[in-house]
A and B are shown apart, each in its own frame.
Chain A
């Protein structure tokens, strides 16, 4: 290469080109075992017209084609040297029952298990151990309805009244691969005395505790604690802004803080009433005032005490809206109803909008607190101050930028905890409602799988922070793992290795930044990781090396091209220098800011 008058320097902060971290990764192979008898399920010879890209000409052939298609999709992301064996059986379960799946077994303390004393689904355990821990048994069971209302096309064009078999199986296989809590939803007990790997990532933001550290009773309550139940996985949290829709002003609930005597502040779970207005998005504050009579089932006699305050009423003896209406007439700004049942949870109040059989309009917000919290408020009164602060999420489906789990209060169809929240936007594969508009790139399920220990390749969105990358590439025994360290002593700091997608444990200089001089034009070419969510870069320039100033895109340089390197989680960027002076030093500076 002809020397060029422009110099390129290595700054304190880094300059290098990427040597991609390309391990020899083996995509997972799915093997489906046909457990059906003659003429049923996968052996059903009923003629079927090819549909939606499915070329099978019998029902059985179409079902098999879909299984293979689903295996290909999952297998294109997951890495395992051990084939994933799936036992499949069809039964006549009715037209409305569709399909389901689960792991065949759970494993703990196997070779290379990342966490000890923790249950892992067998497919993941095999992948981590690198051997089939239970040969001949299978890893996932699938049961499907032979007379289910399925659409057998490979596309998403399900007609009304039919469920898309591909989407259903993608979802259910996800459960079998590890998107499932094994904690008993009724008792809160761990699965046979140990926590399962999925549940170690469940975090209750109100308790500020992982499910692994909660008591059984607390887990039962926590399972209903929407919107506080979140997934605490580093890859999922880092990738969340790339997938979920941003909505900075979205209020997803309210945090009640009571200032008791002392003063002592106490956070209290609440449930908003199903009638009347909600708490304003700006929040609500006020002094608590106890009604007389306590249950407010007759006209309130202490209206002067309640005016402009938040009324405290005991549950019982009459309808909720009766109580609230009487407090409203007394001038209260809101109502707190204390449960009279000793449970950890509060109930959602309902009403019939009639008081003494006369239709009324409730114009103040109502919430319910637990009996225990009600007793605290009562004991500390008068003088209790309440504050309902809005809980704002920047992304639809998140709480404090962590993806929420499905934790509806009380009975709702579907399955709690082992699904993402139904509030997420766009719809996610592992929500309890399987929508046909799903992204078959498996959206946040990929990062969830990575969180629990799967090696996942080709995740189509950035999902690494330096910390999560650090946990991936270094061993617990490694030292010099900080961003400014250089573990392999190759002159490239760990942060630079991370930015460029390099291997920090391999001293390699083969991919230094290249300055190309072509047809009178100077180009700076480098490759960077597409996985980083917390770093970006800027170009600085200097003519003397004494000081640098920002180089201006469009004036000093232009981005000539950005080329995705397929399958390498990286992109090759070419910057062209514009109107260069006789001498110019150019500096590529990595910055701690979100990816652009």
Chain B
């Protein structure tokens, strides 16, 4: 066997070992278990009863996405009125609860001259579009004049 063949064989054996390792990892408990064990250790250290035993390999349904703060903001800036109810009071007064909507929201956005400035928006899409044009990680001087 020449050196080249030895090298190829060596590479094949190494690949087999790596592949076997991957297979073994797939049949072994998941990292979630280790995480769970870690949690148990934390609980034990805190004097709480730790949970022991094997963790069944079941698929966990993904939790429904929670509305983000920006989702909530979009709802607050909504101008939707279809589901708002007019209440007529005995004295003839009429009222509409706005359900937390119709908020005007200010944000640091990019002005017409490219500089950041504080703008007030009544439309969430406009706010969102303007924010996309604003570098959030780099604080730039806010424009102080027009």
Contact between A160 and B139 (Cβ–Cβ < 8 Å)?
yes
- Given known A-B contacts A93-B73, A94-B70, A435 and B106 have beta carbons under 8 A apart: no
Contact between A143 and B76 (Cβ–Cβ < 8 Å)?
yes
**Is B90 at the interface (CB under 8 A from chain A)?**
no
Which residue of the partner chain A has the closest CB to B116?
A161
**Is B94 at the interface (CB under 8 A from chain A)?**
yes
Contact between B98 and A104 (Cβ–Cβ < 8 Å)?
yes
Contact between B123 and A185 (Cβ–Cβ < 8 Å)?
yes
Q: Which residue of B93, B121, B130, B139 is within 8 Å of A133 (Cβ)?
A: B93
Which residue of the partner chain A has the closest CB to B91?
A111
* Proximity bits, B91-131, A CB within 8 Å = 1, else 0: 11111111011111111111110001111111100110111
User: In the complex, which residues of chain B have a beta carbon less than 8 angstroms from the beta carbon of A25?
Assistant: none
For the complex formed, measure the closest distance between the CB of A400 and the CB atoms of chain B, giving whole angstroms: 23
* Proximity bits, A407-419, B CB within 8 Å = 1, else 0: 0000111111011
- Given known A-B contacts A111-B93, A413-B126, A96 and B121 have beta carbons under 8 A apart: no
- Given known A-B contacts A95-B136, A98-B108, A434 and B120 have beta carbons under 8 A apart: yes
A315-342 at interface with B (beta carbon < 8 Å): none
**Is B146 at the interface (CB under 8 A from chain A)?**
yes
Contact between A96 and B93 (Cβ–Cβ < 8 Å)?
no
**Is A361 at the interface (CB under 8 A from chain B)?**
no
**Is B30 at the interface (CB under 8 A from chain A)?**
no
Contact between A192 and B81 (Cβ–Cβ < 8 Å)?
yes
User: In the complex, which residues of chain A have a beta carbon less than 8 angstroms from the beta carbon of B101?
Assistant: 102
User: In the complex, which residues of chain B have a beta carbon less than 8 angstroms from the beta carbon of A158?
Assistant: 142
Contact between A105 and B95 (Cβ–Cβ < 8 Å)?
yes
Contact between B139 and A149 (Cβ–Cβ < 8 Å)?
yes
**Is B34 at the interface (CB under 8 A from chain A)?**
no
Of the candidate stretches A167-175, A273-281, A386-394, A469-477, the one touching chain B is A167-175
State the CA gap A180–B95 with chains docked (Å). 17
**Is A134 at the interface (CB under 8 A from chain B)?**
yes
Contact between B141 and A160 (Cβ–Cβ < 8 Å)?
yes
- Choose among B76, B96, B106 the residue with the greatest number of A CB atoms under 10 Å from its CB: B106
User: In the complex, which residues of chain A have a beta carbon less than 8 angstroms from the beta carbon of B119?
Assistant: 413-414, 432-434
**Is B84 at the interface (CB under 8 A from chain A)?**
yes
Which residue of the partner chain B has the closest CB to A159?
B141
User: In the complex, which residues of chain A have a beta carbon less than 8 angstroms from the beta carbon of B121?
Assistant: 413-415, 432
User: In the complex, which residues of chain A have a beta carbon less than 8 angstroms from the beta carbon of B123?
Assistant: 185, 415
Contact between B139 and A143 (Cβ–Cβ < 8 Å)?
no
**Is A243 at the interface (CB under 8 A from chain B)?**
no
User: In the complex, which residues of chain A have a beta carbon less than 8 angstroms from the beta carbon of B62?
Assistant: none
Contact between B105 and A107 (Cβ–Cβ < 8 Å)?
no
Contact between A107 and B94 (Cβ–Cβ < 8 Å)?
yes
User: In the complex, which residues of chain B have a beta carbon less than 8 angstroms from the beta carbon of A191?
Assistant: 81, 96
Contact between B102 and A172 (Cβ–Cβ < 8 Å)?
no
**Is A119 at the interface (CB under 8 A from chain B)?**
yes
Which residue of the partner chain B has the closest CB to A434?
B118
User: In the complex, which residues of chain B have a beta carbon less than 8 angstroms from the beta carbon of A182?
Assistant: 102
**Is A484 at the interface (CB under 8 A from chain B)?**
no
**Is A517 at the interface (CB under 8 A from chain B)?**
no
A56-112 at interface with B (beta carbon < 8 Å): 91-111
User: In the complex, which residues of chain B have a beta carbon less than 8 angstroms from the beta carbon of A413?
Assistant: 109-112, 119, 121, 126, 129-130
Contact between A415 and B108 (Cβ–Cβ < 8 Å)?
no
* Proximity bits, A280-296, B CB within 8 Å = 1, else 0: 00000000000000000
- Given known A-B contacts A103-B102, A180-B102, A185-B122, A96 and B109 have beta carbons under 8 A apart: yes
**Is B25 at the interface (CB under 8 A from chain A)?**
no
**Is A483 at the interface (CB under 8 A from chain B)?**
no
B1-43 at interface with A (beta carbon < 8 Å): none
Q: Which residue of B95, B109, B126, B140 is within 8 Å of A160 (Cβ)?
A: B140
**Is B65 at the interface (CB under 8 A from chain A)?**
no
**Is B59 at the interface (CB under 8 A from chain A)?**
no
Contact between A419 and B120 (Cβ–Cβ < 8 Å)?
yes
B70-87 at interface with A (beta carbon < 8 Å): 70, 72-73, 76-77, 79, 81, 84, 86
User: In the complex, which residues of chain A have a beta carbon less than 8 angstroms from the beta carbon of B130?
Assistant: 413
**Is A162 at the interface (CB under 8 A from chain B)?**
yes
* Proximity bits, A15-34, B CB within 8 Å = 1, else 0: 00000000000000000000
**Is A345 at the interface (CB under 8 A from chain B)?**
no
Q: Which residue of A106, A172, A411, A437 is within 8 Å of B106 (Cβ)?
A: A172
Contact between B93 and A108 (Cβ–Cβ < 8 Å)?
yes
User: In the complex, which residues of chain B have a beta carbon less than 8 angstroms from the beta carbon of A411?
Assistant: 126
User: In the complex, which residues of chain B have a beta carbon less than 8 angstroms from the beta carbon of A119?
Assistant: 96
Contact between A149 and B96 (Cβ–Cβ < 8 Å)?
no
Closest 3 CB pairs of A and B: A160-B141, A161-B139, A100-B105
Chain A interface residues toward B at CB < 8 A: 91-111, 119, 122, 133-134, 137, 141, 143, 149, 158, 160-164, 167-168, 171-172, 175, 180, 182, 184-186, 191-192, 411-416, 418-419, 422, 427, 432-437
Between A and B, 5 residue pairs with Cβ closer than 8 Å are A109-B93, A143-B76, A164-B118, A416-B122, A435-B117
